[in-house]
Homo-oligomer: A and B are copies of this chain.
Amino acid sequence: MHRDDIDTPAVLIDLDIVDANLRRAQDYADAHGLRLRPHVKTHKLPRLARAQMALGAVGVTCQKLSEAEAMADGGITDIFLPYNILGPRKLDRLAALHGRVTLSVTADSAVTVAGYAGRLADPARPLTVLVECDTGAGRCGVQTPDEALALARLIAAAPGLCFGGLMAYPPRAGLAQTQDWLAAAIAALGAAGLPPEVVSIGGTPDMERAHEIAAATEQRPGTYVYNDRMQMAWGHGTPADCAMAVLATVVSRPTPDRAILDAGSKALAADPAPVPGHGQIVEYPGAIVATLSEEHGAVDLSACARRPEIGERVHVIPNHACVVTNLFDEVHLMRGDRVEEVARVTSRGRLT
C-alpha cells in the first residue's frame, strides 16, 4: 500500500526515523555504561520492542499488566512493571506472568508489599521488587531515603520477594535533586547491608543527560521512539526526529483563515503541550491547530502565506505520541511512501 491509499485520520510511523531514534538511544546508554530498558507504552508494538532488544536493551518497561501480557505474548522475556499492583485479580495475573518471563515490579507502601508476598510467595522463584522513590515528580513513591530503607527491609524480609533496587521518575530539570536523593538512599541501604543492584530512572526529555545522575544504572525512556511536540518543546528532538504523524484531511475551509481537519480530540488527544496548539502541521509550519472538538480540528491559518485546499491531506505531529497510540486500533509502519505493515496496537482499550 502507498501513503496515498491510506484513509484518514490514520497514524503513520516513519520506520527510518524510528531506527535512528532507537540507535541513538542505545549508543548513548552504551557510551555511559547505562542499561537501557525502554518503556513500550509509547508504541505498544512487540515488533518495536523486539527491535529495541536486538539493539541491546536489557528488557522492556510496561506500565500496566495488560501491556506486559501483550509484550510477553510478543516474545519479550524480561519485563519491568514499575507500578503498585494491587488486588486479587491483578495479583493472580501477575503471578501467571511471573511464571512466563523475568519479571520485576515496584512498591511504595507496605500494603503493596504485603499483596505481593501474599500471592507470590514462592521462595524458589522470588519476585524482584524495587522501591519506587519520589524524588520530586509528585506522583507515587516513598518520600525520603529513610522510607526507602524501611520498605527495602520489608521486601528483603518477605519470603518469596527479593529486593531489587530503587526506581525513580525524575522531575524534568530535576537531575541534581534526584542524584542527591538516590545517593543518600544508596548510602543508607549500603550501610544496612542492602546495596541496590538496580537504580532505574526514566523519562525521554532528559534521557541524554541521564549520566548526570551518577547513581543510576538503568534508564527507561519511552517517547524517544517516536518523539512528539511536547518532547520538542522540552528540548528533545526536532521535527526530523518525530516518527509519528497523524495523517488528516482538510474537510472544510469555512473562512480564509480557518481550515477544519478530520482529526479532533479522538485522534490527536487533548493533552496540552508547553506551547500553544494541539499539533504541528508538517506541510504548514505557520498553522496552529487551535481547537479540537471530538472529530474536528480547527486550524488557524492567519500566519500562513500558502494555505491548504479542501481535500488536501496533511501530516500532524501530535502533542503527545503515547496517548495517540492508545486511540487507534492500528498504525501504519512506513518506509518512505510505502506501508511496510499495518500493525495492530496491542493492549489499547484494555486498561487493567
Interface residues of A (CB under 8 A from B): 7-10, 41, 63-64, 83-84, 86-87, 89-90, 108-109, 111-112, 134, 138-143, 249, 251-255, 258, 260, 262-263, 265-267, 269-272, 291, 293-296, 298, 310-311, 322-323, 326-329, 345, 348-352
Determine which of B142, B295, B311, B345 lies in contact with A64 in the assembled complex, contact meaning CB atoms within 8 Å: B295
Q: In the complex, are the beta carbons of A249 and B349 less than 8 A apart?
A: no
Sorted nearest first, the 9 A-B pairs with minimum C-beta distance are: A329-B349, A140-B252, A84-B251, A111-B310, A270-B271, A63-B295, A7-B352, A7-B89, A270-B270
**Which residues of chain B are within 8 angstroms of A134 by Cβ–Cβ distance?**
254
**Which residues of chain B are within 8 angstroms of A251 by Cβ–Cβ distance?**
83-84, 86, 112, 140
Complex: chain B residue closest to A253, CB-CB: B109
Q: In the complex, are the beta carbons of A7 and B267 less than 8 A apart?
A: no
Q: In the complex, are the beta carbons of B90 and A7 less than 8 A apart?
A: yes
Interface of A is mostly: loop
Complex: chain B residue closest to A255, CB-CB: B143
Q: In the complex, are the beta carbons of A254 and B142 less than 8 A apart?
A: yes
Complex: chain B residue closest to A63, CB-CB: B295
Q: In the complex, are the beta carbons of B87 and A249 less than 8 A apart?
A: yes
A-B contact pairs, 20 of them (CB 8 A): A7-B90, A9-B352, A10-B352, A84-B310, A86-B251, A108-B254, A112-B252, A139-B260, A140-B252, A140-B254, A265-B271, A269-B269, A270-B270, A294-B323, A327-B349, A327-B351, A328-B351, A329-B349, A329-B350, A349-B349
Complex: chain B residue closest to A326, CB-CB: B266
**Which residues of chain B are within 8 angstroms of A140 by Cβ–Cβ distance?**
251-252, 254, 260, 296
Chain B nearest CB from A258 CB (Å) reads: 7
Q: How far is the CA of A112 from the CA of B254 in the complex (A)?
A: 12
Complex: chain B residue closest to A246, CB-CB: B351
Complex: chain B residue closest to A134, CB-CB: B254
Complex: chain B residue closest to A328, CB-CB: B349
Chain B nearest CB from A337 CB (Å) reads: 17
Interface centre among A86, A260, A311 (most CB of B within 10 A): A86
**Which residues of chain B are within 8 angstroms of A291 by Cβ–Cβ distance?**
138
Chain B nearest CB from A85 CB (Å) reads: 8
